[in-house]
Structure 1
Amino acid sequence: MLQKELSEIFQREVREVVMGTMVTVTNVRISPDMGQAKVYLSIFPVEPKAEVFQSVKEHQVKIRHLLAQRVGKQLRVIPELAFYLDDSLDYLENIDRLLKQ
């Protein structure tokens, strides 16, 4: 549920934060006490990746607030969000590029 809601937030509500790039929530891991959520993001295109990721981290409070508005009725605790880059697609692309050579 958190992955779906965060994906919609990135697509619709925080366009200025992601600077027109496509941000995909690839995975969300939640601690057993629901206090922490590790959110893995994939950012495309690759070029402004560091800037977009930094912007997302700076707007973490705003994103958590938007998440709380969406799932506040279903969850008793809204977890603290920690964002991480998911570079598995970059790794696959690099492997594919190496195999084509």
Structure 2
Amino acid sequence: MESKRQQKVASLLQQELAAVFQRDLPHLFPGLPPGINLVRVSPDLGVARVYLSVLSIGSAADKASQGEAQMVLVKDNGKPIRQALAKRIRRQLRIVPELVFFLDDSAAYAAQMDRVFGDLEIPAAPTAPTPAEDTDAATRPGGPRPRLFGGSEE
């Protein structure tokens, strides 16, 4: 479980990295900059794991290749990204954590699971007879069942 300090630092890093990608270094990312889904910080605040999502248009294969290309671009430019981040958070943190980037494919996984569940053919559940359809109530030992809430059964 993360401490309050880890959560605060992770939130700060997420906000400031989004600003770095959109405002400070937009020239590094042709098209749309990657979105930041999640940031996890180690207990010593030395390493930050950044989970990025890449928005792209096209088929699933195109999206995967664009995501891979975007991640290569982010990893190759890790040093300028960390330097730009350091300029933004130098008054809040003494040491800027090392950034480790990962491709977050949770949206694609959720879409795949939605397709899988949508393709399932689940047979309808058998219907239970209603009290009005219960024909053997009169022949039951002790006669018909008494009603618990309301008038007597007729």
Is the TM value for this pair above 0.5? yes
SS at match of 2:34: strand
- The one-letter code matched in structure 1 to 2:110 is L
**Contact preservation (8 Å) 1:39, 1:81:** yes
Larger relative strand fraction: 1
| Further displaced range: 28-37 or 56-65 | 28-37
1:1-101 superposed matches below 5 A: 1-45=12-56, 46=63, 47-101=65-119
Q: Which runs of 5+ in 1 are unaligned?
A: none
Q: Which of the pair has more CA radius of gyration?
A: 2
- Separation of aligned partners in 1, 2:27 and 2:68: 15
Q: How many residues align?
A: 101
- The one-letter code matched in structure 2 to 1:25 is I
**1:97 to 1:14, Cα distance in 2 relative to 1, 3 A:** farther
Higher relative contact order (CA 8 A, sep 6+): 1
TM-score when normalising by structure 1: 0.90
TM-score when normalising by structure 2: 0.61
Larger relative helix fraction: 1
Deviations 1:39-60 (A, max 9, x none): 1101111251111110000000
**1:18 to 1:97, Cα distance in 2 relative to 1, 3 A:** farther
**1:90 to 1:22, Cα distance in 2 relative to 1, 3 A:** farther
Q: Which runs of 5+ in 2 are unaligned?
A: 1-11, 57-62, 120-154
**Contact preservation (8 Å) 2:46, 2:98:** yes
